[in-house]
Amino acid sequence: MPSAESHFLDLAAPGVRGLTPYQPGKPVAELERELGIRNAIKLASNENPYGPSPHALAAAQAALQHIARYPEGSGYQLVERLAALHGVAPGCITLGNGSNDVLDMVARVFLTPQHEAVFSQYAFAVYPISVQAVGAVARVAPAHDGSRGPAYGHDLHAMAAQVGAQTRVVFIANPNNPTGTWLPAAELEGFVAQLPAHVMVVIDEAYFEYVADAHYPDSSRWLERYPNLIVTRTFSKAYGLAGLRVGYALSHPQVAGLLNRVRQPFNVNLVAQAAALAALDDRQHLAKCVRHNQAGMQQLVAGFERLQLSCIESAGNFVAVDVGRPGPEVYQALLKEGVIVRPVANYGMPQHLRITIGKPEENERFLQSLQRVLA
């Protein structure tokens, strides 16, 4: 008689049986509990170390008075505000429990075991998870090797070569996580323009607010030209609301209507909606966080140069560094120093660690710990 465990495995959907769950960054409390240490720091999950706007905190606090009630299911006020921000109709907005939620909706709406999705090597781990969960086929295009484009960056020619009759979704993170590489406007729009009408292209702009380069696009401005375009954004990064889980998608109204068919009721809670609304109004806090991130990036890159380590040029709030030896070993050694970073061997980058930009004192502590570990 088969064991209960093997019996349940047989009952699971084929795509789920071999699925490896997404592994989040290690929490500070967990590390301190395991090693019996205090004052650990976490530079692992691309969180904003400066937190949310004080106005967002106040709005969240006020909303707590009403948590006995369900939130407005449509998220009316937040949807209206986002529509005004982007200059689109409210019917173009789909709210998500973080942008990961919206990415998963896209897979459930447009992918089946008879269809394919295309994404790049080193792309965000949620794409293959969502594709496999629905039983679709993943086509992974090799990234640039540095000869024709930035090393580790998306090679759009290679991605286009993977698109076929059964392709229904193309995922592009711009900037990409965990590499921090990004695509300029002309190159990316040219790719979107030549895709067949039966292919939905998802441009994941989770780190949009951190990018300052004039050639970096706001692809939400392309929606009228490309009905098969879906753009995703989040409040988890620059807005500092990772713990509340608020994200959204912008798309053609008919596409948004399909996504909303599978969206879970009340997927963005009452407190999250209130905080997101207030966060959008505090542009000064957002600008301050972006300035601090730029300074922190310079601090880390200079530190890597002193240590004679190479890193991937990043446009996000993180940077991937080649530590010259197995990354997981260095990661474990840093944990004993009370410093949590992110190993990315699961992305096919065995010698890299991804470091979130922290406050100046956190960045310095990490660099000093890294120097001791490598010595």
Per residue in 120-140, pLDDT (tens digit) is 999 999 999 999 999 999 999
Residues 30-36: what's their mean pLDDT? 91
Q: 169-203 pLDDT, tens per residue? A: 999 999 999 999 999 999 999 999 999 999 999 99
In which band, very low, low, confident or very high, does the pLDDT at 347 lie, cut at 50, 70 and 90?
very high
Residue 299, burial from CB neighbour count under 10 angstroms (0-12, 13-18, 19+): middle
pTM of the model: 0.95
Q: How far apart are CA 29 and CA 41, in angstroms?
A: 10
Residue 82 · residue 234 · CB < 8 Å: no
Tell me whether the omega of the peptide bond preceding residue 196 falls within 30 degrees of 0, making it cis: no
8-state DSSP, 21: P
> Domain map of the chain by residue range?
23-51+284-374, 54-281
Pick the CATH number of 54-281 from 3.40.50.10860, 3.40.640.10, 3.30.70.20, 3.40.50.12780: 3.40.640.10
Which spans in 87-166 are helix H?
A: 99-110, 126-133, 156-162
Q: Tell me the pLDDT band of 8, cut-offs 50, 70 and 90.
A: confident
Mean pLDDT of the chain: 95
Does the pLDDT at position 1 exceed 50? no
CA max distance for the chain: 65
Amino acid making up residue 356 = T
What is the fold of 23-51+284-374? Aspartate Aminotransferase, domain 1 (3.90.1150)
Helix or strand run (H / E) with residue 234: strand 229-234
Backbone dihedral region for residue 135 (phi beyond 0: left; psi -120 to 50: alpha; all else: beta): left
Mean pLDDT of 198-226: 97
Q: Specify the residue for token string 């008075």.
A: 65
- Condensed to tens digits (0 to 9), the pLDDT of residues 72-124 reads 999 999 999 999 999 999 999 999 999 999 999 999 999 999 999 999 999 99
